[in-house]
């Protein structure tokens, strides 16, 4: 499926549309078509485009990752295992992946609401709100982290309100979660918003005339159309959260076994000149993230197939 | 050099260079070759020295221009001591390193061979032109009556201190805590182990550097006591107001020796050896020693030490060499992976 086919997607049975941001899946082309080196197309330029893609990906992604994968073996399997089996590393991995999953999940719900408000309604200051969604992208993550810590510390604006209730945010895992939600939000909103905008109002109006209530219209018409973009947004927000460092360390408290994220542990290993240890944790994070992304893509594929039927 | 400075001034220069220094054989031809063109030095330092070196760099630029007519600009890089050492190992072209503890410079020597392993004997007084120690900063009026190390493990007390894995100051703080337990009546290693475990149980936030912990304590209002560098405590008073905090000097602490060193391979490549060596020697001069005292580091120079004696309470200070057998041993036993510090956080 090429990106160009999106805008002219017919409004009939909700076809799975792809948002602009897309997860790296390639296998969703029409299943009957044979896969080979060359996509049959009238458009020229296959060879240079392909060569450039390979070079670009190699220099930016594949080579650095290969260097990472080559590093942990300095102390053999034993060294790798000792690093990874330590309770502290396991706790950090659990925290990073667990909270990233929760943050991405919450963002799917909250981001959908935000995107809905931005796409469906007009209100004063809408453009401002729209621009604000992208701020977590533009801000240096450290700035975001410091700002969040200042607000959510027990003497900050929000933290001071929560403190009497005994709720501590900054310097606890809850603080980590908030930072991860903040950095992940744009992925969902920006993924869902265009799809929502393009969603044909006539379909909903037709459903209305056929007597479908608002819940049913949302559930059976709008949500299925949004599912692919929500899944993509989820996976991007998740991937970003797993690797997030700058904004988290300022609000996390960084206590071993409790609020220490895996990327911080990598930095700590590096500062002890333990390059192999740092690479071990990095490699495991890479493999775990990869597994999660593949799973998400399989889910997406299954959803797309069901939508097509 | 064509417009050579007056002979007297060159003799003055040589006296200044050789006077404070032990090594660094100086040939006047070297001086001649390097003198006139403007030069940039990079001083890679640790976290809380920003303010100190800002003043020293300006003073040195004046001093050097007056002596040689050469314009020198010293650039600074600051960060956690371990991270800075790693940056130099990975290629940051530091002419001089001024780090929080000797082990970090040892690492540069061991891993990247940028300077000889006997670097610490090349400048006077263990290559440490200034000293410091670890003190407590508490909130005004000392509401929890925190006076000694044992007060930090009372129920309900929250202590802010950075992570010794990433911060040099935090390592000194850890060692001071350990030493206080060893030197207490009836103290021994088992007691010290139990004490530091208790100590870190009371820490709600482990920042990665000294400055981060100061911000957490002073601006975010976390914790009842900040365990920090003496100079950082004074700086916090100056920065955030003496009406908010006060310094408590514990009855015993550690003699922190932040060393300085020339990075031979870098200065030889850049041709900055003479200027860089002059910079390190300058740190021992009365002028720099006075700035050192002014910024709440303990000066080596007796005159400066006497001038600032009032701000440095005299307390027993244990040394790393006597109590811990040197940095390499302390590092391996306490801070390496699986060391005592890691065991603190092992789930029982």
Read off the pLDDT of residues A98-124 as tens digits, 9 standing for 90 and up: 999 999 999 999 999 999 999 988 999
pLDDT at A199 over 80: yes
Residue carrying the six token digits 């200070």: B317
The residue with greater pLDDT, A202 or B41, is: B41
Paired with B227 in beta bridges are B136
Residues B193 and B327 reside in one and the same domain: yes
Whether residue B1 lies inside any domain: the answer is no
For residue B232, the 8-state DSSP code is H
pLDDT at res. A270: 83
How far is A300 from A231, CA to CA, in rounded Å?
7
The reply to whether residue A254 touches residue B206, judged by beta carbons under 8 angstroms, is yes
Residues B16 and B70 reside in one and the same domain: yes
Token output for A160: 């001071």
Mean pLDDT of chain B: 88
pLDDT at res. B348: 58
Q: What distance separates the 2 farthest-apart alpha carbons in chain A?
A: 69
Residues B201 and B320 reside in one and the same domain: yes
pLDDT at A34 over 70: no
The number of CA neighbours under 13 Å toward the Cβ of A207 is 20
**Partner A contacted by B87 (CB < 8 A):** no
Residue B170 belongs to domain with CATH number? 3.40.190.10
Cβ neighbours for A304, distance < 8 A, ≥ 6 positions apart: A16, A28, A228
Task: Identify whether the C-beta of residue B157 lies closer than 8 Å to the C-beta of residue B144.
Answer: yes
Whether residue B144 lies inside any domain: the answer is yes
For residue B256, the 8-state DSSP code is B
Which helix (H) or strand (E) segment is B29 a member of?
helix B28-35
Residues B73 and B208 reside in one and the same domain: no
Residues B116 and B138 reside in one and the same domain: no
Task: Identify whether the C-beta of residue B249 lies closer than 8 Å to the C-beta of residue B313.
Answer: yes
Chain segment B273-328, per-residue pLDDT in tens: 999 999 999 999 999 999 999 999 999 999 999 999 999 999 999 999 999 999 99
How far is B255 from B102, CA to CA, in rounded Å?
13
Region B327-336 average pLDDT: 92
Whether residue B226 lies inside any domain: the answer is yes
How far is A262 from A83, CA to CA, in rounded Å?
12
Residue carrying the six token digits 């003479």: B274
Could you tell me the pLDDT band of residue A44, with boundaries at 50, 70 and 90?
A: confident
Residues of B in contact with A254 (CB under 8 A): 163, 205-208
Could you tell me the pLDDT band of residue A80, with boundaries at 50, 70 and 90?
A: confident
Token output for A249: 């360390």
Residue of A nearest to B87 (CA): A271
Residue of B nearest to A273 (CA): B86
pLDDT at res. A17: 46
Whether residue A258 lies inside any domain: the answer is yes
How far is A66 from A71, CA to CA, in rounded Å?
9
Domains in chain B: how many in total?
A: 2
pLDDT at res. A35: 59
Mean pLDDT of chain A: 84
Nearest to B220 among A87, A149, A271 (CB): A149
Which helix (H) or strand (E) segment is B307 a member of?
helix B302-307
* Percent helix, strand and coil across chain A, each to the nearest 5: 75, 0, 25
Task: Identify whether the C-beta of residue A231 lies closer than 8 Å to the C-beta of residue B130.
Answer: no
Whether residue B90 lies inside any domain: the answer is yes
Quote the strand ranges of B107-265, DSSP E.
130-131, 134-139, 159-160, 225-229, 245-248, 253-254, 260-262
For residue B334, the 8-state DSSP code is I
Which helix (H) or strand (E) segment is B39 a member of?
strand B39-45
Residues B230 and B329 reside in one and the same domain: yes
Residue ranges making up the domain that contains A164: 76-308
The reply to whether residue B221 touches residue A154, judged by beta carbons under 8 angstroms, is yes
Residue of A91, A142, A256, A266 to mutate for B, most B C-beta atoms under 10 A: A256
| Planar angle of CA A9, A307, A18, nearest 5 degrees | 45
pLDDT at B346 over 80: no
Residues B220 and B291 reside in one and the same domain: no
Chain segment B174-226, per-residue pLDDT in tens: 999 999 999 999 899 999 999 999 999 999 999 888 888 999 999 899 999 99
Task: Phi first, then psi: give them for residue B279, nearest 5 degrees.
Answer: -65, -45
Domains in chain A: how many in total?
A: 1
pLDDT at B344 over 90: no
Of B231, B201, B202, B207, nearest to B219 by C-alpha is B207
Task: Identify whether the C-beta of residue A173 lies closer than 8 Å to the C-beta of residue A258.
Answer: yes
pLDDT at res. A28: 45
pLDDT at res. A303: 80
Residue A109 belongs to domain with CATH number? 1.10.3720.10
Which helix (H) or strand (E) segment is B304 a member of?
helix B302-307
pLDDT at res. A203: 85
Whether residue A44 lies inside any domain: the answer is no
Region A6-32 average pLDDT: 44
Could you tell me the pLDDT band of residue A37, with boundaries at 50, 70 and 90?
A: low
Residues B211 and B264 reside in one and the same domain: no
Judged by CB atoms within 8 Å, which residues 188-247 of B form the interface with A?
Answer: 203-208, 212, 216, 219-222
Task: Identify whether the C-beta of residue B40 lies closer than 8 Å to the C-beta of residue B57.
Answer: no
Cβ neighbours for B70, distance < 8 A, ≥ 6 positions apart: B34, B35, B36, B37, B38, B39, B64, B275
Q: What distance separates the 2 farthest-apart alpha carbons in chain B?
A: 73
pLDDT at A158 over 80: yes
Residues B248 and B266 reside in one and the same domain: no
Task: Identify whether the C-beta of residue A144 lies closer than 8 Å to the C-beta of residue A225.
Answer: no
The reply to whether residue B347 touches residue A87, judged by beta carbons under 8 angstroms, is yes
pLDDT at res. B132: 96
**Partner B contacted by A152 (CB < 8 A):** no
For chain A, the residue count is: 309
Whether residue B2 lies inside any domain: the answer is no
For residue B338, the 8-state DSSP code is T
Total beta-carbon pairs less than 8 A apart between chain A and chain B: 67
Residue of A162, A272, A274 to mutate for B, most B C-beta atoms under 10 A: A272
- Global pTM reads 0.78
Residues B222 and B146 reside in one and the same domain: yes
Residue ranges making up the domain that contains B158: 134-255+316-344
Q: Range with the lowest mean pLDDT among A51-55, A81-85, A227-231, B157-161?
A: A81-85
Going from the C-alpha of B114 to that of each of A81, A171, B93, B96, B239, the distances in angstroms are: 33, 39, 10, 11, 37
Residues B241 and B320 reside in one and the same domain: yes
Residue of A nearest to B90 (CA): A273
Whether residue B206 lies inside any domain: the answer is yes
Whether residue B61 lies inside any domain: the answer is yes
The reply to whether residue A272 touches residue B208, judged by beta carbons under 8 angstroms, is no
Quickly count: other Cβ atoms within 10 Å of residue A90's Cβ. 13
Quickly count: other Cβ atoms within 10 Å of residue A108's Cβ. 21
For residues B187, B189, B193 and B195, what is the CA-based torsion angle, rounded to 10 degrees?
Answer: 10
The residue with greater pLDDT, A43 or A262, is: A262
Whether residue A169 lies inside any domain: the answer is yes
How far is B292 from B313, CA to CA, in rounded Å?
16
ipTM over 0.90: no
Could you tell me the pLDDT band of residue B142, with boundaries at 50, 70 and 90?
A: very high
Residues B104 and B157 reside in one and the same domain: no
């Amino acid at each position: 499926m090429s990106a160009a086919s999106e805008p002219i997607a017919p409004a009939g049975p909700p076809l799975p549309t792809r948002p602009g941001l897309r997860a790296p899946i390639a296998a969703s082309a029409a299943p009957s078509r044979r896969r080979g080196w060359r996509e049959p197309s009238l458009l020229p330029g296959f060879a240079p485009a392909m060569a450039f893609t390979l070079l670009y990906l190699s220099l930016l992604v594949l080579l650095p990752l290969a260097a990472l994968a080559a590093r942990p073996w300095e102390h053999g399997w034993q060294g790798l295992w000792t690093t990874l089996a330590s309770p502290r590393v396991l706790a950090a991995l659990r925290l990073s992946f667990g909270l990233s999953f929760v943050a991405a999940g919450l963002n799917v719900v909250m981001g959908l609401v935000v995107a809905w408000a931005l796409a469906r309604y007009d209100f004063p200051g809408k453009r401002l709100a729209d621009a604000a969604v992208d701020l977590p992208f533009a801000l240096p993550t450290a700035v975001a982290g410091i700002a969040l810590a200042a607000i959510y510390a027990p003497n900050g604006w929000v933290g001071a309100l929560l403190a009497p209730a005994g709720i501590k945010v900054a310097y606890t895992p809850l603080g980590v979660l908030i930072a991860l939600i903040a950095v992940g939000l744009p992925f969902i909103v920006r993924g869902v918003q265009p799809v929502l905008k393009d969603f044909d109002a006539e379909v909903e109006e037709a459903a209305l005339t056929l007597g479908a209530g608002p819940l049913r219209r949302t559930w059976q018409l709008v949500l299925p159309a949004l599912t692919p973009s929500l899944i993509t947004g989820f996976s991007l927000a998740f991937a970003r959260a797993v690797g997030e460092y700058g904004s988290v360390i300022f609000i996390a408290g960084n206590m071993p076994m409790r609020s220490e994220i895996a990327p911080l542990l990598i930095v700590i290993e590096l500062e002890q000149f333990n390059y192999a240890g740092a690479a071990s944790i990095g490699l495991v994070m890479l493999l775990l993230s990869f597994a999660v992304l593949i799973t998400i893509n399989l889910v997406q594929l299954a959803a797309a197939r069901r939508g097509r039927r | 050099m064509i417009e050579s400075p007056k002979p007297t001034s060159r003799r003055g220069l040589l006296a200044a260079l050789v006077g404070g220094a032990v090594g660094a054989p100086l040939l006047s031809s070297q001086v001649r070759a390097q003198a006139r063109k403007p030069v940039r030095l990079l001083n890679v330092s640790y976290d809380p020295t920003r303010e100190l070196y800002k003043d020293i760099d300006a003073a040195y630029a004046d001093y050097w221009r007056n002596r040689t007519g050469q314009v020198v600009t010293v650039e600074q890089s600051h960060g956690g001591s371990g991270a800075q050492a790693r940056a130099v190992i990975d290629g940051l072209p530091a002419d001089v390193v001024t780090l929080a503890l000797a082990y970090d410079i040892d690492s540069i020597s061991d891993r990247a061979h940028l300077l000889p392993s006997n670097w610490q004997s090349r400048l006077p007084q263990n290559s440490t032109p200034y000293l410091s120690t670890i003190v407590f900063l508490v909130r005004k009026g000392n509401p929890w009556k925190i006076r000694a190390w044992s007060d930090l493990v009372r129920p309900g007390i929250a202590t802010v201190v950075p992570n010794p894995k990433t911060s040099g100051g935090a390592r000194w703080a850890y060692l001071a805590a350990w030493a206080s337990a060893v030197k207490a009546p009836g103290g021994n290693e088992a007691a010290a182990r139990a004490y530091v475990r208790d100590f870190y149980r009371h820490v709600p936030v482990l920042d990665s550097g000294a400055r981060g912990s100061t911000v957490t304590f002073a601006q975010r209002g976390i914790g009842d006591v900040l365990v920090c560098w003496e100079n950082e405590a004074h700086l916090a008073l100056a920065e955030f107001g003496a009406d908010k905090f006060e310094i408590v000097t514990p009855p015993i602490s550690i003699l922190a020796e932040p060393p300085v060193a020339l990075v031979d391979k870098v200065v030889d490549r850049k041709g900055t050896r003479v200027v860089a060596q002059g910079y390190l020697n300058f740190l021992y001069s009365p002028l720099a020693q006075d700035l050192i005292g002014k910024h709440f580091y303990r000066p080596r120079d007796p005159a400066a030490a006497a001038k600032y004696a009032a701000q440095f309470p005299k307390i027993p200070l244990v040394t790393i060499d006597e109590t811990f057998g040197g940095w390499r041993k302390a590092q391996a036993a306490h801070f390496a992976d699986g060391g005592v510090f890691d065991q603190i956080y092992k789930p029982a």
